[in-house]
Amino acid sequence: MRIPIFLQAPNFDIKNVQSDIDATRKAFDDYLDYYKRKDARSKHGLMGPVGKILGEVRSGRRDPQSLKGYAIRVHEANQQYLSQEGIAALEKAINNLVGLLQPVPAGHVDTVVDRLDYALYFSRRKKVVEEREVLNCEFRTFLQERYKDLLAVAAAWGETISDWSRVYVFGPTSKTYKKASDTKKGDIAAFWKHQEAQAKAPAEILLEEE
C-alpha cells in the first residue's frame, strides 16, 4: 500500500514583493523611453521587447546575461540599435527582474509577472495619452493663431465643431485623416512642420486612431 506524500507549497504573499515589482516596472519604463515604438495602438507596440523578455522568464530562463543578449537580438531583428544609455537602462531592468523573481516560488511566478506586465502596460498607455493630449493642445493653439476662432476653422475644414476640445491632430495613416478635406490635411501638415522647426516633433506619430 502506497503512503501518500503531501507537499506543502511554500507560503507566499505577493505584498512582500510589491515594492520590488514597482521598482522593476519603473526600470523597464525607463528603458522603454529609449525604445522607438512602431505604434501606440497595441500592447506589443507599446512594450516592444519587454513582452518577449517576460515570456522567456515565464519559460524558466532566469540568467540575466542570456536575457540581455536575447533582448539585444530582438532589437537587432527589428533594425533598432540601443544607445549606451539605453543598454544601461535595459541591464538595470533585467537585473531588477531576476532579483525580483529569485525569492518567488515557481508556482507564483506567473502571478508576479502578470502584475508587473500589466502595471507596465498601464504606465506606458498613460504616457501615450498624456503625450497625445499635449500634442492636441499644441495643435489647437496653432490653429487659434492661424484662424483666430473656432468658427473659421470649422468653415475652412467644412465641418461642424462644437468646442475646441473636439479638435484633434491625426497621423497620415488614420481613417479620419484620409477622410479630411484638403484644407484640414494642409493644416495638419503645416502643424508638423511647425513642430519640427521647434524641435518638438515626436519620434513617431502618436495620434493614429485606435
Mean pLDDT over 2-9 rounds to 53
What pLDDT was estimated at residue 11? 83
DSSP letter (8 states) at residue 195: H
Decide if 164 contacts 198 (C-beta within 8 A): no
Task: Give me the residue spans of the domains in the chain.
Answer: 16-127, 130-197
pLDDT tens digits, one per residue of 119-165 = 999 999 999 889 889 999 999 999 999 998 999 999 999 999 999 99
Pick the range with the lowest mean pLDDT from 99-103, 108-112, 174-178. Answer: 174-178
| Phi/psi of residue 85, nearest 5 degrees | -65, -40
- Cell matching residue 167: 479638435
Pick the range with the lowest mean pLDDT from 21-25, 97-101, 139-143, 202-206. Answer: 202-206
Which of 125, 12, 31, 108 shows the shortest CA–CA distance to 74? 31
Q: Per-residue confidence at 201, pLDDT binned at 50, 70, 90?
A: low
Cβ within 8 Å of residue 141, ≥6 positions away: none
pTM as predicted: 0.82
For residues 192 and 205, what is the distance between their CA atoms, to the nearest angstrom? 10
What pLDDT was estimated at residue 9? 52
For residues 124 and 43, what is the distance between their CA atoms, to the nearest angstrom? 9
